[in-house]
């Protein structure tokens, strides 16, 4: 499965990157908020996540980055400890999203036919 895990500082910069969606060195020390517009829109909420709370999951985000065509699932969680970091896990879910879309299209067409 294609995944990327990012460790993001409280100021929004990417401190670590690992995975096979994007080369890790492309993202290091860049602003996650500028790199992924969806993070910017959620930033106030993400900063208030608590380590003991469940993570935030967003399914089927369409093309979250210019180099990532398709659909991706984003999972955010706040790390515990002395320093708070935000961990972002990105997984490609393009195939599942296309299958879901096709199934819904077929169901809608079946409802329209007498």
Instruction: Say which CATH number the domain at 74 has.
Output: 3.30.450.20
> Which residues span the domain enclosing 24?
3-112
Q: So what's the pLDDT on residue 82?
A: 72
Closest alpha carbon to 65 in 97, 100, 30: 30
Which residue would you say has higher pLDDT here, 32 or 60? 32
CA distance 15 to 89: 14
| pLDDT 10s digits, 38-90 | 999 999 999 888 887 778 999 988 888 888 889 999 999 998 777 789 999 99
Burial 42-72 (b: 16+ CB within 10 A, else e): beeebeebeeeeeebeeebbeebbeebebbb
Q: Is the pTM of this model over 0.75?
A: yes
What domain count does the chain have?
1
Q: So what's the pLDDT on residue 49?
A: 87
Bridge partners of residue 77, in order along the sequence: 87
Task: Examine the pLDDT at 37 and tell me if it is beyond 80.
Answer: yes
């Amino acid at each position: 499965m294609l995944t990327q895990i990012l460790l993001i500082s409280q100021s929004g910069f990417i401190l670590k990157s690992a995975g096979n969606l994007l080369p890790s060195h492309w993202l290091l020390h860049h602003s996650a908020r500028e790199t992924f517009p969806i993070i910017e829109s959620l930033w106030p909420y993400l900063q208030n996540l608590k380590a003991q709370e469940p993570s935030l999951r967003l399914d089927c985000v369409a093309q979250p980055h210019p180099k990532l065509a398709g659909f991706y699932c984003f999972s955010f969680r706040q790390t515990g400890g002395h320093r708070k970091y935000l961990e972002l896990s990105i997984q490609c879910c393009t195939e599942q999203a296309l299958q879901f879309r096709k199934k819904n299209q077929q169901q809608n067409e079946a409802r329209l036919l007498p």
